[in-house]
Chain A
Amino acid sequence: MKHHEIDQYAKQSPLCNFDPRVKIASTVIFIISIALLRELTPLIISLLFLLLIVAASRIPPIHIVKSYVLALPFAVFASLTMWYSSGSEEAAAMFLRITDSVLALILLVSTTPFFEFLKALRWFKVPAIIISLLLFTYRFIFVFIDELERMKLAREARGFNGGKSLLNVEALRTIAYTAGMVLVRSHSRANNIYSALLSRGYTGEVRTLSHLRAKPRDAVFAAAFIGMSLMSLFIQAGVIIWTL
């Protein structure tokens, strides 16, 4: 599988041993506090805090940069228009706010295996149908990506070059047929997979061998993130006077 690297770091980083519930809750609180920040000082301190954690997490920087680039179009566009309409300080705050929250989210997603997420989400009372759907979908995605890669290779071998514009009917037809074929193949696969599941006693409940247990170090994790969030908000409110 070509895309196996998607949650590769989720199993190597020292951060992956923390309880996923604690990680999700702390990150959510942290990102909410970032969303409330308008001043530069707390945003810069939060950024330094995150960079420190990133360094400790031992996630390869290239992986972080790749995920960060996904959010860049919105961040750049929004900051530029903000510069024009509100001024440079608001623009910088906007850019830092997006950067901080994107970094925090990347930290969370690249150090938490997807199945840990599902367990935590179940604990947070997300409906069972959504959890099993997430589980199945996640599993099937990799199968289809492989399928798609094979079809892409075959397409290119026959001379397909992606087309140049929306007016290229042939290119659009090929793309649509590829997408349609992914769906047809997946549909016939669904029945097989479902029969296989039934024959192993699947009833719709997902059971795992390991159970979630919060440890003292999870309290340290939560304290660091929530402490940082509170500090940022206090700095903004003027309770803590900070001179850089």
Chain B
Amino acid sequence: MIDRTELWIVIVALGLGSFGLRFVFLGLVGDRPLPEWLTRHLRYTAVAVLPALVMPLVVWPSATEGETDPVRLTAAGVTLAAAYFIKNVILSMLLGGLVLAGGAYWFG
């Protein structure tokens, strides 16, 4: 059972912290120009952070207690291939979801 005091400390502190992270540049730096090396790095934020966030979840899914799951790997691969070639986010997700559901049906 989660301690109620701890829960509310986490909710409030995480809320403030998350807002702080989102506000730091937009709010405090404002319209002052950023150095070129920084903007050059920032262009690659999404394509670096999202894969770094996703890879461990794909290779060691929590649902299988960290064991590599061929069905989830395949679903992820299909989603990536579809997203790269078709460039349609929803269609790609649906294809990946179908592989996941199909895999669970056949092997589950």
A pairs with B: no
* Chain B residues packing against A (C-beta within 8 Å): none
* Chain A residues packing against B (C-beta within 8 Å): none
